[in-house]
Amino acid sequence: MDTLPGQTLEAIAYAAELIGQARRIVVLTGAGISTPSGIPDFRSEGKGLWAKDEQLEVASQATFRTRPEVFFEWFRPLASSIIDAQPNSAHLALAELEKHDKLHAVITQNIDILHQKAGAANVIEMHGTLATLTCTRCYRKYPYQDFLPAFLQNGHLPYCSDCAAILKPDVILFGEQLPQKAWQQAQAEARKCDLMLVIGSSLEVLPVAGLPMQAVDRGAHLVIINNSPTYISVRADINIYEDASQIIPAIAKRVLNHVE
């Protein structure tokens, strides 16, 4: 942390102070928190997944219904990187803050289960999860361990053991609605919190991108840790343009040392 610019160190100290004063803290995470774990993001210029593939061609509900093999061909390397990934220091630090009652909920746009692997308990998954697959006919739900390892190894598509219909990973594709329960929970958390931390999200995908606005419009403080500015950066108390896996542990250390 000593190699960080002085301005960043001051921002870390101020963020820790805000966390120490807050009564209800909510975190919103995007792909940027998981890239240090080896999971590619979607929108980074030149190297994001959508720089290589047309999203509606490979990851839409229509494509899955008509040509599931196209979706699975695109999905296979991403699923492989997710299954092999481990939580990084940012995930672990957030889980530690939650354990010490300094964090109320994590709202995530990620499907990678890394918050749960790190030990976080209250995780609201806005874009679904890779943890399970659901039959497209009988709706039986399966844990990913039953099918994805074999799919990644031999490329065989996953089919339901009961009715033989194809299984769909429980991730939200283009053209699908957000999970209603998760969306209602996320809105409630955004409206009740007095501090929101946005970590690793460009805040470009609606409606989730609107959650920080709901928070600040009700008087909440806002801290953004991302590699580039967002539409709401001008309203944030703090903007830190550094690697989340370095910044979040530094903030958590200051908070928890003060608590202890």
- Could you give the residue numbers annotated as active site? 127
Alpha helices in the chain (DSSP H): 6-21, 49-52, 55-58, 61-66, 68-84, 89-99, 114-118, 148-154, 180-192, 211-217, 244-259
Which residues pair with residue 106 across a beta bridge? 27, 123
- 177 by DSSP, 3-state: which? coil
Please count the other Cβ atoms lying within 10 Å of the Cβ belonging to residue 195.
22
- Taking the C-alpha atoms of residue 52 and residue 110, their distance in angstroms, rounded to an integer, is 19
Please enumerate in sequence order all residues whose Cβ is within 8 A of that of 60, keeping only pairs 6 or more positions apart, or say none: 173, 174, 175
Please count the other Cβ atoms lying within 10 Å of the Cβ belonging to residue 13.
12
* Beta strand 25-29 pairing with 141-143: unpaired
